């Protein structure tokens, strides 16, 4: 496989154990690097680890042509196909160990950890069972690519590892998964992109058990060649106790074909996005592996408004501008992303995005995103949780913005209302349209001071004729707000006011014998020729004008009819 990979491997029995149950394997042609830590006692662990590394290699060797095609860039071979091949090889190793344990009863229950790395075609493929580890050194940082299948780590994941519980654990190296113990085993497999300058360390727990933090590993091997670095790591483990077997395998990709700056930039950019927080390094590398690098020239179209969206874009270098129609409404710089809703629904793009100068971006397709959700359950749960959290924040922010806008609109409406009132108060009222009126009768203000009527209707001739001796005949004074009944008897007190509706004006029937109109004896009434109302007393408001037609009684002296 790649001739630009430098490697060195070393194993040591340590200072406590009598025999070494660790095994490793390096096959440069296949690009295969394996570390196994056997268990079972009575040399069974050594047998298990040896069978595992050989069984894995043999399974991959059968499909060497398949790996070669992928290394040559054959489009018919996908990274997922190689990952499935590596996983299948790990299951073959498990079957070989289990079959040997069934054949020899003295070896029943034996097993081994297995951590395998395949570097081919610009990708790295991991198969992992147990508590051996694989580390990646890139860009001055160290990232652990595997997760321990151990009792201690399981307690950590559940948040139940307290100092009290840790003291009670007798065998702190107990694992929850191992190759060969059972007929089948669950294997963690994933793939990621490699970069020039990458350095990988595979080791057993006899080494990483003495290194608490990944940063310390970087300090121990920085600037050292592979052979010197492996020896130094083993020496450190022995100096700190050497209670277990110690194995270290280092593989370094040379920088002849470039550098890892773009890979580091892509990783750091993805790590800073809210949708990918809480992901472990191996999980984030898995996401990075499904992203497709894109390069754009100035004014190149990235997405077009109205077209269905099916991917998210992350700006790595350069800038992009967002247009709605012909207007520019936003700009994206390095580290920004857009089109994230396309990962969930296939909706039309709401705007057009153009590259502003030369730019580099990552494109993550919705199909690949859903594939991770289906195949990588742990990653899928985290991704969906991140999406829900981010969308919840956006919804809350939108609600707050809408509330603020509504409050500002209410204030603006109040200000506008105040301004309108001021304008109306300043403007002169329009002159009312003239309405024809019937002549008025004299005011009864002296008779009924509380009345504000304009019109008096006398009793009809029928009412006057039908009145018997001693009966009182009244006149009705009609006004806007009420009707005041006035007693025609000189000594009778005025009748109380009572509200009454004003009847609509209708043609009056011609009376048989109209009676003359007589005012009350004590009423201060003058019969003017024009029958106008007396002016109001000083200090009182003028009479309100009733513009409705008034029924006027006929003149008894007028015989024109």
pLDDT in tens, 20-39: 999 999 999 999 999 999 99
Domain end call among 387, 405, 433: 387
Question: Under a CB-based contact definition with an 8 Å cutoff, are residues 243 and 190 in contact?
Answer: no
Does 33 fall in a domain? yes
Domain boundary among 259, 278, 304: 259
Residue 167 lies in a domain: yes
* pLDDT mean across residues, the chain: 80
Please state, in angstroms and rounded to a whole number, the distance separating the CA atoms of residues 359 and 373: 29
Q: How confident is the model at residue 110 (pLDDT cuts 50, 70, 90)?
A: very high
Residues 245 and 295 placed together within one structural domain of the fold: no
Q: Are residues 213 and 318 in the same domain?
A: no
The reply to whether 410 falls in a domain is: no
For the record, the structure tokens of 210 come out as: 């003495």
Segments forming the whole domain that contains residue 16: 5-259
CA distance 530 to 439: 7
Residue tagged 């307290």 (tokens): 162
Q: Is residue 502 in a domain?
A: no
Q: Between residues 552 and 56, which one has the greater pLDDT?
A: 56
Q: Between 376 and 83, where is the model more confident?
A: 83
Instruction: Report which secondary-structure segment, H or E, holds 449.
Output: none
Q: Are 190 and 324 found together in one domain?
A: no
Using an 8 Å Cβ cutoff, are 205 and 237 in contact? no
Together in a domain, 151 and 17: yes
Instruction: Check if the beta carbon of residue 391 is closer than 8 Å to that of residue 343.
Output: no
Query: How would you classify the pairing of strands 246-253 and 337-338?
Result: unpaired
Statement to judge: residues 245 and 147 lie in one domain:
yes
CB contact at 8 A, 279 and 141: no
- 170 domain-assigned: yes
Q: Are residues 33 and 71 located together in one domain of the fold?
A: yes
Domain boundary among 209, 243, 259: 259
Let me know whether 142 and 248 are in one domain.
yes
Question: Is position 518 within any domain?
Answer: no
CB 48 within 8 Å of CB 40: yes
Judge if 21 and 112 occupy the same domain: yes
One domain, residues 125 and 255: yes
Using CA atoms, how far residue 162 sits from 131, 150, 152, 166, 176, in Å, is 20, 16, 10, 6, 19
Q: 184 and 293 share a domain?
A: no
Whether residue 231 lies inside any domain: the answer is yes
How many domains does the chain divide into? 2
Same domain, 213 and 341: no
Quick one: which of 535, 516, 447 has its CA closest to 484? 447
Residue 314 in domain: yes
pTM of the predicted model over 0.75: no
β partners of residue 361: 294, 315
**For position 194, what pLDDT does the model report?**
94
- Residue 126 pLDDT > 80: yes
Q: Indicate if 13 and 111 belong to the same structural domain.
A: yes
Residue 344 confidence (pLDDT): 81
Residues 77/78/80/84 CA torsion (nearest 10 deg): 10
Q: What CATH number does residue 328 fall under?
A: 2.60.120.10
């Amino acid at each position: 496989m790649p001739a630009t990979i430098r490697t060195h491997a070393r194993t040591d029995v340590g200072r406590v154990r009598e025999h070494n149950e660790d095994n490793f394997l390096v096959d440069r042609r296949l690009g295969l690097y394996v570390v196994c830590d056997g268990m079972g006692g009575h040399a069974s662990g050594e047998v298990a680890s040896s069978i595992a590394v050989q069984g894995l290699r043999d399974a991959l060797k059968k499909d060497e042509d398949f790996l070669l095609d992928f290394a040559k860039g054959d489009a018919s071979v996908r990274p997922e196909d190689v990952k499935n091949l590596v996983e299948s090889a790990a299951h073959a190793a498990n079957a070989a160990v289990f079959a040997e344990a069934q054949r020899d009863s003295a070896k029943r229950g034996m097993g081994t950890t297995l951590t395998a790395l395949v570097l081919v075609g610009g990708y790295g493929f991991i198969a992992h069972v147990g508590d051996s580890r694989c580390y990646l050194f890139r860009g001055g940082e160290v990232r652990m690519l595997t997760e321990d299948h151990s009792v201690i780590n399981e307690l950590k994941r559940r948040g139940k590892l307290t100092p009290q519980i840790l003291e009670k654990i007798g065998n702190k190296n107990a694992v929850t998964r191992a190759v060969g113990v059972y007929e089948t085993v669950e294997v963690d497999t994933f793939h990621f992109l490699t970069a020039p300058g990458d350095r990988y360390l595979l080791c057993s727990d006899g080494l990483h058990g003495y290194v608490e933090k990944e940063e310390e590993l970087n300090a121990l091997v920085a600037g050292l060649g592979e052979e010197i670095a492996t020896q130094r790591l083993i020496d450190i483990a022995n100096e700190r106790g050497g209670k277990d077997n110690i194995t270290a395998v280092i593989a370094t990709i040379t920088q002849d074909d470039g550098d890892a700056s773009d890979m580091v930039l892509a990783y750091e950019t993805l790590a800073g996005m809210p949708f990918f927080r809480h992901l472990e390094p191996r999980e984030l590398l898995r996401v990075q592996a499904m992203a497709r690098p894109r390069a754009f020239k100035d004014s190149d179209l990235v997405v077009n408004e109205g077209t269905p969206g099916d991917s998210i874009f992350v700006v790595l270098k350069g800038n992009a501008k967002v247009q709605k129609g012909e207007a520019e409404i936003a700009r994206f710089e390095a580290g920004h992303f857009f089109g994230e809703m396309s990962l969930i629904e296939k909706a039309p793009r709401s705007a057009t995005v153009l590259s502003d100068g030369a730019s580099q971006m990552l494109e993550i397709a919705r199909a690949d995103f859903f594939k991770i959700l289906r195949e990588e359950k742990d990653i899928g749960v985290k991704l969906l949780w991140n999406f829900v959290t981010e969308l919840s924040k956006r919804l809350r922010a939108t609600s707050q913005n809408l509330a603020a806008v509504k409050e500002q609109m209410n204030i603006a409406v109040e200000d506008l209302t105040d301004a309108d009132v001021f304008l109306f108060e300043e403007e002169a009222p329009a002159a009312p349209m003239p309405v024809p009126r019937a002549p008025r009768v004299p005011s009864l203000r002296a008779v009924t001071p509380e009345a504000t009527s304009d019109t008096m209707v006398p009793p009809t001739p029928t009412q006057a004729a039908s009145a018997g001796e001693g009966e009182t005949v009244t006149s009705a004074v009609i006004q806007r707000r009420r009707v005041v009944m006035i007693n025609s008897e000189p000594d009778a007190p005025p009748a109380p006011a009572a509200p009454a509706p004003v009847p609509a004006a209708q043609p009056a029937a011609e009376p048989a014998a109209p009676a003359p109109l007589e005012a009350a004896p004590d009423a201060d009434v003058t019969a003017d020729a024009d029958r106008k109302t007396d002016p109001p007393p000083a200090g009182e408001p003028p009479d309100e004008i009733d513009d409705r037609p008034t029924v006027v009684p006929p003149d008894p002296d007028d015989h024109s009819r």
